[in-house]
Amino acid sequence: MIDYFRDQSEYTSLGDKSKRAYEQYLALIEAEFGEMPIGALEDRRARGDFKAFRNTFAATPRKADYVWTTIARVLSVAKDHGKLSVNVCERGGRLYESDRSEIVWTAEDIGSFCSVASIELQAALLLALWTGQRQGDLLRLTWSNYDGTYIRLRQSKGRGNDGRRRVTIPVGPPLKAALDAALNQKRSAVTILVNPFGRPWTEDGFRTSWDKAFKKTPLKDLHFHDLRGTAVTRLAPSNCSVPEIAAITGHSMATVQQILDAHYLGGRVELAESAIKKLSAVYGQGQQ
């Protein structure tokens, strides 16, 4: 069944990075369950066997979850293609919970990183702050995605019918100035973001360069992906509504609200100050 999964478009259409991630866990699963007959895969009691195997990695919850979700994905593809009548690993089974919604880059953090980062890395940071897109989508952006006014793209990740959203992002003045300046350099690369050699970044090359620059700063526990949530929290004090923010970043409105709730209820005061100013404008002239 694992070999069947590897032959299907759900796997073959993945990027090299995703395939490498899958292969790490497919090898573990194949070593443990490679001889398991199809009939046993359809027996609901197999769910207990798969969970027991997952639990052998409980000391590293994220690894345990990757093992579980990989099994579930193999069975899901097999079921979808009619090879299995049931996926015994549907729903549940995760051990690790990660919530970085409160973690954002402050203006000081951004300044600290830019003070040591190359122009190419600063360009990636600027693009992330003004679009709220994922790292992979930004690295794949080409000049055909930019028309001088808007950046248009189809996001690479998502769930269900809401996945792979198409977003159209008006380009703000600082980003437009940077993009237009890059265009005037008449670079040969088709991608907007390039490495110091003027060539498109590989994902591994970008991560390595980003991490090297980050280690030169005093910053801790900040990821590139946190710039996505940072973009949300920069839009909110600018009087953007939740639907407006979601239209730019491609988040669901529920996710945007979750980020804002976690961030502002976690200690930020910009919205509270704005609210009191508005209240004072109405009731601040000698009224109670």
For residue 32, being part of any structural domain is answered with yes
- Token look-up 């502002």 returns 264
How far apart are the C-alpha atoms of 65 and 56, rounded to whole Å?
11
**pTM listed for this prediction:** 0.59
Q: What is the pLDDT at residue 110?
A: 95
Same domain, 75 and 128: no
For residue 253, being part of any structural domain is answered with yes
Of the candidates 278, 274, 281, 246, which has an alpha carbon nearest to the alpha carbon of residue 260?
246
- Token look-up 């005037």 returns 184
For residue 288, being part of any structural domain is answered with no
Residue 43 CB partners (closer than 8 Å, separation 6+): 88
> How confident is the prediction for the chain on average, in pLDDT?
85
Same domain, 133 and 250: yes
Q: Residues 135-152: pLDDT tens digits?
A: 999 999 999 999 999 999
Same domain, 112 and 73: no
For residue 88, being part of any structural domain is answered with no
Q: Residues 12-41: pLDDT tens digits?
A: 988 888 888 899 999 999 999 988 998 899
Same domain, 224 and 131: yes
Q: Does the structure show a pLDDT above 90 at 126? A: yes
Same domain, 47 and 178: no
Q: Around 177, how many Cα atoms within 13 Å sit in the side-chain half-sphere?
A: 3
Between these two residues, 236 and 147, which has the higher pLDDT value?
A: 147
- Token look-up 């390039």 returns 194
- Token look-up 């990821």 returns 223
Q: Does the structure show a pLDDT above 90 at 102? A: no
Same domain, 54 and 9: yes
State which residues form the domain around 53.
2-80
Same domain, 54 and 156: no
| CATH number of the domain bearing residue 148 | 1.10.443.10
Same domain, 173 and 256: yes
Same domain, 71 and 168: no
Q: Which of 85-99, 169-183, 256-270 has the lowest mean pLDDT?
A: 256-270
Q: What is the pLDDT at residue 263?
A: 63
Q: What is the pLDDT at residue 162?
A: 47
Q: Average pLDDT of 49-56?
A: 91
Q: Average pLDDT of 241-260?
A: 82
Our count of domains for the chain comes to 2
Q: Residues 200-227: pLDDT tens digits?
A: 999 999 999 999 999 999 998 899 999 9
- Token look-up 């973001």 returns 193
For residue 99, being part of any structural domain is answered with no
Q: Average pLDDT of 77-94?
A: 85
Of the candidates 188, 178, 181, 185, which has an alpha carbon nearest to the alpha carbon of residue 124?
178
For residue 125, being part of any structural domain is answered with yes
